Structure 1
Amino acid sequence: MGATSGSAPVPVIDIHGLRKVYAAGTEAEVVALDGVDLRVEPGEFLAIMGPSGSGKSTLMNLIGCLDKPTAGSYRCDGLDVSSLDAEQLATLRLDKIGFVFQGFNLLSRMSALENVAMPLGYARVPPAEREAHARRALAAVGLAERASHRPNELSGGQQQRVAIARALINSPPILLADEPTGALDSRTGEEILALFKRLRDDGHTVILITHDAEVAAHADRIVVMRDGVLFAHEEAAA
């Protein structure tokens, strides 16, 4: 899904020497990320694993362009993120990144179809087109028949599928999922992880943030955050 340069695909995530320091120069200084390098190719299913406080949430926020690094470089689908202003960053998030969260983040007064279509409103897509796109997205996650249901009429797994459909509505190259099975029972969690694999097979790049090794094991590749440093899974286990 990334742009191409010659015959080699451009990585969807290309990070070098990324640092994030909070309260720099004070007694409260915290180095959340300490020189992180990460390259993610188009169509990969990557898990970023680590306990609370390891820096994985900070890394997720930087990958999602929700925060800016203290130092280092980040190219998102070929774009140098540091060169973008606030409006351009908002456009990048809309076009390049689909977010899936543990808490689903659905609007309770809206139907599944309306929740899924919502990002297209920000993209100024006409209402009739929005509905058609949203119906296709719901069908892709197996919920075509639940389009008119509100979140409180859906199971947890169905709500997470709606959230995934919403994340996919702009066909972003990157799907960024933060503990997406954390609020689900284990069987439903397995169904959601199987859905991510199908999305990967369809050409999406899936980045999964988790503290759970069993969840991470579903990915094609695992990297581990520890004290702000990123390790390959094999290195972390050594």
Structure 2
Amino acid sequence: MTAGAPVPVIETRALRKVYAEGTQAEVVALAGVDLRIAAGEFVAIMGPSGSGKSTLMNLIGCLDTPTSGQYLCGGVDVATLDREQLATLRRERIGFVFQGFNLLPRMSAEDNVAMPLGYARVPPAERRRLAQEALAEVGLAARSAHRPSELSGGQQQRVAIARALINRPALLLADEPTGALDSKTGEEILALFKRLRDDGHTVVLITHDAEVAAHADRTCVMRDGELHEGDEPHSAYARSASTATNPRLAVDGGDVHGERSR
């Protein structure tokens, strides 16, 4: 990296993850992944089940550690951090969005969004103010008092995104965020990610769906633990799916709709 160049939000160098290393059950989940994501990018990491994308997501999110290689999060080598420092990095620099929303059913939208601020010991009045701002950012200011059961699936995902944004993280990491939504609502959530990117957020989207990945500015395709950048999403996914162990994909000839329809 040249002097004065912006520090990438994510940089991995020869990142490798091996399960049951040295045994007959050894599985190479990541085989030397190099990845750079700059601030303000919207990047999709795509691949079928077993390709390594979930393992890569866990490493990027500091939820797991690599077997070898290096991961720099905002220029910080995460291998140099202890458990408490890793927890602080996750809380302050990474916002997580999951397919299942993970909202607490007895809490209002505002309280769900404000919850991470409790761990940061932010005063209650400030939590409420920041939660309202985050809900307004995703278009749900008027629903702040509603519980999850009183919200649609798309609204629940917006609450989850607001919660992920509450600490103003450098990185928004979304794992199959449209997987539990109908196509129209999914399009609305993807449009929200684009708006967040336009506002300066860095968004990394994990998906098996080429149509979802096509909304990103850049697509990286995982195949057999290796990362391939610059592939056209539909053709790359078809190549990957054709070699996957998923029997349904094999029967369907790698049709992306075969897996998404399950």
TM bracket (short chain): over 0.9
**Among the aligned pairs, what percent are the same residue?**
77
Corresponding residue of 1:110: 107
Corresponding residue of 1:44: 41
Structure 1 gaps of 5+ residues are: none
> Structure 1 residue 233: deviation in Å?
3.5
Corresponding residue of 2:214: 217
SS in 2 for 1:8: coil
> Structure 1 residue 234: deviation in Å?
2.3
Select 2:186's aligned residue among 189, 194, 207: 189
State the alpha-carbon separation in 2 of the partners of residues 112 and 6 from structure 1: 44
Instruction: Determine which structure has more spread, i.e. the larger CA radius of gyration.
Output: 2
SS in 2 for 1:9: coil
1:223-238 matches, within 5 Å, as 223-234=220-231, 237=236
Select 1:70's aligned residue among 67, 70, 73: 67
Cα-to-partner distance string for 1:45-81 (whole Å, 9 max, x where unaligned): 0000000000000000000000000000000011110
Q: What letter is aligned with 2:60? A: I
CA RMSD of superposed structures (Å): 1.2
1:196-211 matches, within 5 Å, as 196-211=193-208
Q: What letter is aligned with 2:29? A: A
Q: TM-score, normalization: structure 1?
A: 0.96
Q: What letter is aligned with 1:120? A: L
State the alpha-carbon separation in 2 of the partners of residues 42 and 20 from structure 1: 25
State the alpha-carbon separation in 2 of the partners of residues 6 and 121 from structure 1: 39
State the alpha-carbon separation in 2 of the partners of residues 119 and 6 from structure 1: 36
State the alpha-carbon separation in 2 of the partners of residues 150 and 164 from structure 1: 15
Q: What letter is aligned with 2:186? A: G
State the alpha-carbon separation in 1 of the partners of residues 3 and 132 from structure 2: 36
Q: What letter is aligned with 1:212? A: D
1:5-44 matches, within 5 Å, as 7-44=4-41
SS in 2 for 1:234: coil
State the alpha-carbon separation in 1 of the partners of residues 48 and 171 from structure 2: 23
